[in-house]
Structure 1
Amino acid sequence: MSRSTRRVAGVAGIAVAGVCAAAALAAPALADNGNQKSDPQGPLVNVQLLSFNDFHGNLEAPSGSSGRIVVDHAPDAKDADKDGNTEEPADVTVDAGGVEYLSSHLAEARKGHRNTLTVAAGDIVGASPLLSAAFHDEPTILAMNKLGLDVTSVGNHEFDEGYKEIQRLANGGCIDDGDGQNNQNSCPTGSFPGASFDILAANVIEKASGKTILPAYSIKNVNGAKIGFIGMTLKDTPNIVTAAGVAGLEFTDEVKTANALVPELRKQGVKAIVVLIHQGGTPTKQPWTNPTTNKGYLANPVYDWACQGGGDLTQDSAILPIAANLDPEIDMIVSGHTHQPYVCDVKDPAHQSRLVTSASSFGRLFTETNLQYDRRTQDIVRSSVAGTNMIVTRGTKDPAQTELINEYKELVRPIASKVIGHITQDVLKGGAGVNAGGESQLGDLIADAQLADPSVVTGGEKPVIAFMNPGGIRADLSYATSPYGEAPGDVTYDEAFTVQPFNNYLVSMTLTGAQIKEILGQQWSGSNAGTGKKILQVSKGFTYSYTGTTLGAVTLNGSPLVDGQSYRIVTNNFLQGGGDGFPTFTKGTNVYYGGLDIDAFANYLASFNPTGYTPGPLDRITGS
């Protein structure tokens, strides 16, 4: 496929200001469990909150490390990092995640709780597997309807296809996308009802109207307990999504936005307030002692290390200053974005305890929080709030979710099973497929595919360098994997899409040699300073070296890059918009939009048929 014609239709007439209609949710009256001791008609109302985040359309149980949760540590008998040390800690994991199991676990958790709500903290859709993405994430919205989700905030990935699209997912309707001609197909069953839950965007303002693109908050009434939910994404969303996805929008400060809504909620008689925010933290490493040698190491934290297991969040965690400055009237914070598990106490401005939770990602965990609402004060009893992260083990499946998955697996099969190329061995994004400088086998392949794509050629001028952001490479290409019964080494569209799931457009532009060097320096400076370097993947013929944070030689086809000379480059529209902390890409001139990155990837793989693609030497980036 060459230049793509995929476009997203807008939804007219959406009400964007104010509050969603309050909806009472009453679970069936079941026998009280241990935390249901108070008189149902008394002053205290027991309420259960079930929460999760960063589901990313993982309807089927995710595979690999994305489908595992760390539960313990043991000596690294297999020496995974090949450093000769088998005494170091290796993660002990259990398989977890997938909507069939998440839905079943949530249903089980609700038993014995008269008053229960299920909420989420963004990135429910976006960067999704093909089973959902091929249908513009409509299957995930349907799955969330069946699962019983009540409220969610938007996250950054809700803007992958533009804000009109998240409005459509909220309100229903179809996209005229050519009935799947470009590997996407809205409304394959003829209609799409939209979300039966509230999607909140308190800090996302449409500049033209001055109104939020979706409601700012929602009020739920459970047996007389009125709880307000404020939903927000991180204010830095424009820096991590495509420029087109957030065009015409303003993202306001999280603390100022939420605090300004507190008096508005109080005017409506709501004193119990929960913030759902798509911003998060990172647990500290967990100390571990080898039981045989008594040597101490730092290990990847288990799922309940922070903070119930004695751990904490790193001091640079973005959620900490937000949590510490949100109005004391806010009783609890459900967070996300970092894909990390934690249940922590972060003191509010009045120095009172306040729970901050996150449930990893991909439906591998959910957080169960139990609290009491006092009808006399119309507020949450802060000392009663207690949360725990629960593993979504793969035991019982929800038949309704299984039915949905099977339906869409049949609908997606013609797209997913198409063999587009062949590889002669694994092509890896990490581990043994990466050199000391951060260059990866899969990064080389993707950058070369971008460079070879004819859709970015304009005026007869072809790009000479391609840049790919490492965070956009989401999975390995495995030689042995054959999900549709294809021969070993055959690569299906499904496998290729899993590697690059964002539907980014390729963009060519002109940069000077000095600007290119500036971009390379931004891998470890600016917003990327202290992040362990964010190494861009580059195309064949372009090489550079670095030591620490010092850039060394930079060459193109063996000749040094000249500061004052112009070079035609290609990248995706995420980087072109300055994403991932690379603002110099926005200075490119003669900008030209080509086709989709996934199409370039598929076409390039096909060019190696019938023998197949073999990774070359990792000799483009040299560094330490």
Structure 2
Amino acid sequence: MSRLYRFALACLLTGAAAASLTALPGHAEDEPVNLRILAINDFHGNLKPPAPGIRVSDPADPTKSSVVPAGGAAQMASLVKLLSDGKPNTIFVAAGDLIGASPFLSAMFHDEPTIESMSQMGLALSAVGNHEFDEGKDELLRMQNGGCHPQDGCRGPQPFTGATFHYLAASTFLAGTDKTVFPPYEIRSFEDIPVAFIGLTLKGTAGIISPASSAGLDFRSEAESVNALIPELKAKGVEAIVVLIHEGGWPSGGMNECPGLSGPIVDIVKDLDSAVDIVISGHTHQAYVCTIDKRLVTSADKFGTLVTAIDVKLDRTTRDVISANATNIVVDATLPKDAAQTALIDAYEKLAAPYANQPAGVITTTLSRLPNASGESVLGDVIADAQLAAMAAPARGSAVIAMTNPGGIRTDLARRDDGAVTYADLFASQPFRNQLVTVTLTGAEIKAALEQQWLDPARPRILQVSRGFAYAFDAKQPAGARIDAASLMLNGHPIDPGASYRVAINNYLALGGDGFTAFKSGRDAIVGPFDDEALFAFLKANSPLGPPPRDRIVNKAQ
């Protein structure tokens, strides 16, 4: 892999360098200006290479693929430098979710290390993703402008001065106004040719972040927000327009292909004004290079495993895009580590180590977050059991059922050779640090909450449930009738629609997060520990821990 990778990278660099020679000032006026855009998305604070890496196809046989180590801020910085070398017209941009749902090393410091890393790496602009709002608007403004955290104060190795790159948010408004939280766009000039970069997050952000975090914000139509800006940009002499959007799609091919792309990005791009030339997308954690409606559309996987190199030719006369081509490039683990990034990471690791390295216990095998045909995962079962154990005592509300949202489980709990698990490992799987709460719900209200798993029938959110609670569903049935009421059981006894049950959920769900508004009916709330603390205690008490059987949820259609 490394030899083939280096050969492909050398070809790209050689071709790029040759192309850039034609664009230097002093050449014929009809020769185009060469612009290189480097793009990432969904970094999620992965300063160190994420396990296991990225799956890539064998160039000699596309039917074969393998997982290769990839990612890491120190390696990415080196790749960005390589891809920028000899290319004076280069800009490094992102399509959102640089922070949020981050590993412990970044999350412990409220993602300040990632903001510093991206700034140091030369990132220029970024769209605002939904996870940028995990801690609310004011905290995101602190990420941009700097300053100490309002509760935890200054904890890093140096004062936090904020991002040197600029967040853009054309579709995110202060509620009830026409004022965006961040500038909607920024214009950069390359050899006197202006290029506009418009940034936006997805319209559905309010439905996938905490209701408290979305308070006071209005997330509007992506395409309409862009199209409304076109006359203003035209009046400023801008013809070349790039959209950075935190929304994406799902392809069926390799990282530089685009067969059968589906998802929201397809219709959004088709609805964009024809003045838009390039769309850099994200959110779905996929890799693709597509042409939609005669426009280049790209995405670079997740966690910093890829960088997209987009080579653009700009017409000196019309100042518009002549052509644009893109290649997704693996941030290969064999790349040399950038010294400045390494020093930054080392400084934060030294502060984080006493907390991150706390031993939690031993697991007998990797606990996977991947669901079966019923939507149930091994790790989801373990986390639900941990939350029930944490909230079952009378002082914690006497919970008899626990449920947790699958979107809060971010990665497998991978087994090392010795099986040892640290607090940082657990945190990587549950990085949101939601607080647990026990509430009273009737059997009918529990069923109503479960019915809300199919608010988006194409991509249902199946809640992970604790041991002893079981039910069956049929997704082919109409809305409101997908849960088989007779199948709802607790410790072998039918759930009574009129009876009351104490249910442990996290505060995100208790506020109606992910569209589970039925949980807002919960009464007599008792607050408990954070979810990561519950998982830590559960593993300590049950080590060595193996995978429980996935037999709590039955898909009747299977």
Same fold, TM exceeding 0.5?
A: yes
What are the within-5 Å matches in structure 2 for residues 244-263 of structure 1?
Answer: 244-263=212-231
Distance 2:144 2:109 in 1: 15
Describe the SS at the equivalent of 1:385. Answer: strand
Question: Counterpart in 1 of 2:161?
Answer: 193
Describe the SS at the equivalent of 1:446. Answer: helix
Question: Counterpart in 1 of 2:458?
Answer: 530
State whether residues 38 and 93 of structure 2, in contact with CA within 8 Å, keep that contact through their aligned partners in structure 1: yes
Q: Decide whether aligned partners of structure 1 residues 435 and 312 sit closer, same or farther in structure 2, where only a CA change above 3 A counts.
A: closer
2:170 maps to which of 202, 206, 209: 202
2:19 maps to which of 18, 34, 44: 34
Distance 1:617 1:491 in 2: 21
User: Given residue 67 of structure 2, which amino acid in structure 1 is its aligned partner?
Assistant: T
1:599 maps to which of 524, 533, 540: 533
Q: Which runs of 4+ in 1 moved over 6 A?
A: 455-458
Question: Counterpart in 2 of 1:504?
Answer: 434
What are the within-5 Å matches in structure 2 for residues 308-327 of structure 1?
Answer: 311-314=259-262, 317-327=263-273
Question: Counterpart in 1 of 2:12?
Answer: none
What are the within-5 Å matches in structure 2 for residues 549-560 of structure 1?
Answer: 549=476, 550-552=482-484, 553-560=487-494
The runs of 5 or more residues in structure 2 that have no matched partner are 1-15, 477-481
Distance 1:538 1:512 in 2: 16
State whether residues 279 and 338 of structure 1, in contact with CA within 8 Å, keep that contact through their aligned partners in structure 2: yes
Describe the SS at the equivalent of 2:503. Answer: strand
1:303 maps to which of 255, 267, 274: 255
What are the within-5 Å matches in structure 2 for residues 193-592 of structure 1?
Answer: 193-207=161-175, 210-284=178-252, 301-306=253-258, 311-314=259-262, 317-347=263-293, 353-381=294-322, 384-394=323-333, 395-419=335-359, 421-426=360-365, 428-430=367-369, 437-454=374-391, 461-480=397-416, 488-523=418-453, 525-527=454-456, 529-531=457-459, 533-547=460-474, 549=476, 550-552=482-484, 553-591=487-525
Deviation at residue 548 of structure 1 after TM alignment? 5.2
Distance 1:546 1:266 in 2: 53
Deviation at residue 92 of structure 1 after TM alignment? 2.5
State whether residues 243 and 573 of structure 1, in contact with CA within 8 Å, keep that contact through their aligned partners in structure 2: no
Deviation at residue 364 of structure 1 after TM alignment? 1.4
State whether residues 130 and 501 of structure 1, in contact with CA within 8 Å, keep that contact through their aligned partners in structure 2: yes
User: Given residue 566 of structure 1, which amino acid in structure 2 is its aligned partner?
Assistant: S
2:37 maps to which of 25, 38, 49: 49
State whether residues 200 and 214 of structure 1, in contact with CA within 8 Å, keep that contact through their aligned partners in structure 2: yes
Q: Decide whether aligned partners of structure 1 residues 511 and 411 sit closer, same or farther in structure 2, where only a CA change above 3 A counts.
A: same
State whether residues 73 and 91 of structure 1, in contact with CA within 8 Å, keep that contact through their aligned partners in structure 2: no
Question: Counterpart in 1 of 2:11?
Answer: none
Deviation at residue 530 of structure 1 after TM alignment? 2.9
State whether residues 397 and 439 of structure 2, in contact with CA within 8 Å, keep that contact through their aligned partners in structure 1: no
Q: Tell me the alpha carbon deviations over residues 511-553 of structure 1, each in whole angstroms, 9 at most, x when there is no partner.
A: 3212222332333x331x133x533211122111235545330
State whether residues 159 and 246 of structure 1, in contact with CA within 8 Å, keep that contact through their aligned partners in structure 2: yes
Describe the SS at the equivalent of 2:488. Answer: strand
User: Given residue 147 of structure 2, which amino acid in structure 1 is its aligned partner?
Assistant: G
Deviation at residue 252 of structure 1 after TM alignment? 0.8
Deviation at residue 472 of structure 1 after TM alignment? 2.0
User: Given residue 132 of structure 2, which amino acid in structure 1 is its aligned partner?
Assistant: E
State whether residues 391 and 504 of structure 2, in contact with CA within 8 Å, keep that contact through their aligned partners in structure 1: no
1:143 maps to which of 105, 117, 127: 117
The runs of 5 or more residues in structure 1 that have no matched partner are 1-30, 76-87, 180-185, 285-300, 348-352, 482-487
The aligned length equals 530
Distance 1:564 1:90 in 2: 55
User: Given residue 541 of structure 1, which amino acid in structure 2 is its aligned partner?
Assistant: G
Q: Decide whether aligned partners of structure 1 residues 212 and 407 sit closer, same or farther in structure 2, where only a CA change above 3 A counts.
A: same
Deviation at residue 476 of structure 1 after TM alignment? 3.1
Describe the SS at the equivalent of 1:91. Answer: strand
State whether residues 342 and 358 of structure 1, in contact with CA within 8 Å, keep that contact through their aligned partners in structure 2: yes
Q: Decide whether aligned partners of structure 1 residues 262 and 586 sit closer, same or farther in structure 2, where only a CA change above 3 A counts.
A: farther
State whether residues 470 and 537 of structure 1, in contact with CA within 8 Å, keep that contact through their aligned partners in structure 2: yes
Q: Decide whether aligned partners of structure 1 residues 109 and 195 sit closer, same or farther in structure 2, where only a CA change above 3 A counts.
A: same
**Which structure is higher in helix share?**
2
What are the within-5 Å matches in structure 2 for residues 146-161 of structure 1?
Answer: 146-161=120-135
Question: Counterpart in 1 of 2:4?
Answer: none
**Normalising by structure 1, what TM-score?**
0.79
Distance 2:535 2:95 in 1: 32
State whether residues 512 and 519 of structure 2, in contact with CA within 8 Å, keep that contact through their aligned partners in structure 1: yes
Deviation at residue 95 of structure 1 after TM alignment? 2.4
Describe the SS at the equivalent of 1:491. Answer: strand
State whether residues 70 and 93 of structure 1, in contact with CA within 8 Å, keep that contact through their aligned partners in structure 2: yes
Describe the SS at the equivalent of 2:46. Answer: coil
Q: Decide whether aligned partners of structure 1 residues 547 and 170 sit closer, same or farther in structure 2, where only a CA change above 3 A counts.
A: same
State whether residues 307 and 329 of structure 2, in contact with CA within 8 Å, keep that contact through their aligned partners in structure 1: yes
CA-atom RMSD in angstroms: 2.6
Deviation at residue 360 of structure 1 after TM alignment? 0.9
Question: Counterpart in 2 of 1:23?
Answer: none
Q: Tell me the alpha carbon deviations over residues 56-93 of structure 1, each in whole angstroms, 9 at most, x when there is no partner.
A: 111111111xx123223999xxxxxxxxxxxx966323
Distance 1:496 1:95 in 2: 21
Q: Tell me the alpha carbon deviations over residues 292-338 of structure 1, each in whole angstroms, 9 at most, x when there is no partner.
A: xxxxxxxxx322232xxxx2313xx1101110011111111110001
1:72 maps to which of 35, 55, 58: 58
Deviation at residue 178 of structure 1 after TM alignment? 4.2
Distance 1:259 1:516 in 2: 43
Distance 1:584 1:426 in 2: 36
Q: Tell me the alpha carbon deviations over residues 347-386 of structure 1, each in whole angstroms, 9 at most, x when there is no partner.
A: 1xxxxx21111111111111111122234323323xx222
Q: Decide whether aligned partners of structure 1 residues 507 and 36 sit closer, same or farther in structure 2, where only a CA change above 3 A counts.
A: farther
Distance 1:50 1:392 in 2: 13
